Structure 1
Amino acid sequence: MSRSLLCALMALALLAGCSKPKPPDKDRPPEPQATQLRDAMQAPLEQARQAQDEARKAAEEQRAAIDAATDASSN
């Protein structure tokens, strides 16, 4: 009898320890948790965009230089 009473009290104590989670504050939005992962993924993409812009500018400058050299030699 004492074992079943002890088990019942233990079960009751364990159940009493569980409580409903508190809702988040409505005044303060939750902290973003994926910022480090997002930043780690966006950094190489941003570097690739910058490299693409630099390559595009270099190609435009090269075309302008070729056009200028062609115009100068044809005159």
Structure 2
Amino acid sequence: MNEAMTQGVELMLTGMGIVFLFLVMLIAVVKLMAYCVATFIPEVDVTATRATPVQAVSSNAISPSVTAAITAAVHQHRAKHK
């Protein structure tokens, strides 16, 4: 029984060591990738290219007939599924 316990503890420590080494390597690779991305890929200012909601509504105005059709479809759906 003592030999079985010794083998079990050795196997446990070996497994925990392998998992620990894998996690350390994973953290190192993730940090390396973050450094490479920050260094080699330029940051884009998304606020300059994004339209504000007021601009989006005014440039893409929905015609009144489409609004009426959508309203009628929603009303019909709600009446059907009460």
TM-score, normalising length: structure 2: 0.47
Q: What is the CA–CA distance in structure 1 between the aligned matches of 2:31 and 2:3, rounded to whole Å?
A: 43
Matched letter for residue 53 of structure 1? V
Identify the residue that residue 58 of structure 1 maps to in structure 2: 24
Larger RCO of the pair (alpha carbons < 8 Å, separation 6+): 1
Work out the percentage of aligned pairs sharing the same amino acid. 7
Structure showing greater radius of gyration is 1
Q: What is the CA–CA distance in structure 2 between the aligned matches of 1:58 and 1:72, rounded to whole Å?
A: 21
Q: Give the number of the structure whose residues are more often helix, by fraction.
A: 2
1:40 maps to 2:33: no
Task: Extract unaligned runs of 5+ from structure 1.
Answer: 1-33
Runs ≥4 residues deviating over 2 A: none
Equivalent residue pairs, number = 41
Q: How does 1:1-75 map to 2 (within 5 A)?
A: 34=1, 36-74=2-40, 75=42
RMSD (Å) for aligned C-alpha atoms? 0.9
